[in-house]
Amino acid sequence: MSNLSIAVYFPFARFNVVSQNAHLDLKHPGTQIRLEPDRRCRPVCRDCGAAGRVHAWGRRRFIRDLNVGPAMTLLDVAQRRVWCPACCAAKVERLSFADVSQRITHRFAQYIYALCKVMTVQDVARHVELDPKTVKRVESKHSAKRTTTGCVCWRSTRSRCARG
Ligand SMILES: [Zn+2]
């Protein structure tokens, strides 16, 4: 049995890689990475960041990530709802690697932003196989963030686990 693992390429807090499906024989190769919440960690409220408890297991969603080799990568993520004691309400769980309302990871957005510095939005959209409006939105968001904070770093998405 092999000890090889792809989990090191997906260092997301509070989630573990449980399986993958690679489709490398297609015209457009792709891979689906299934992530499950780490049950040792308490989920975190998306609004205030307080640790809560699982209120409901919601639907699953696909989030686009950086390609693995030639394969377009989709993360299959469980979207849980959290009962937040600070907000006194059920909120969607905060993900360390993607915004709740976005369908791309932070590091993929940073990759798009880096490409936008040297390529046109249309060329970037064609290269990453996304809608030009999505690429433009990412570019605008990161430009605004850079002017306010001075730095955009995907490594900051690996926040600490909220055990406790
Ligand atoms: Zn909250």
Per-residue pLDDT tens digits for 114-123: 999 999 999 9
58-71 pLDDT, tens digit each: 889 999 999 988 88
| Pair 28, 72: CB distance under 8 Å | yes
Low-confidence ranges of the chain (pLDDT < 70): 1-2, 146-164
Q: How far is the CA of 58 from the centre of ligand 1 (A)?
A: 17
Q: How far is the CA of 47 from the centre of ligand 1 (A)?
A: 5
Q: How many domains does the chain have?
A: 2
Residue 36: which domain range?
Answer: 1-97
Q: How far is the CA of 84 from the centre of ligand 1 (A)?
A: 5
Residues 124 and 63 in one domain: no
Residues 46 and 117 in one domain: no
d(Cα 9, Cα 122) in Å, to the nearest integer?
28
Q: Does a structural domain hold residue 74? A: yes
3-state helix, strand, coil in the chain (%, to 5): 25, 35, 40
d(Cα 127, Cα 12) in Å, to the nearest integer?
25
Which of 43, 75, 97 terminates a domain? The answer is 97
d(Cα 64, Cα 75) in Å, to the nearest integer?
6
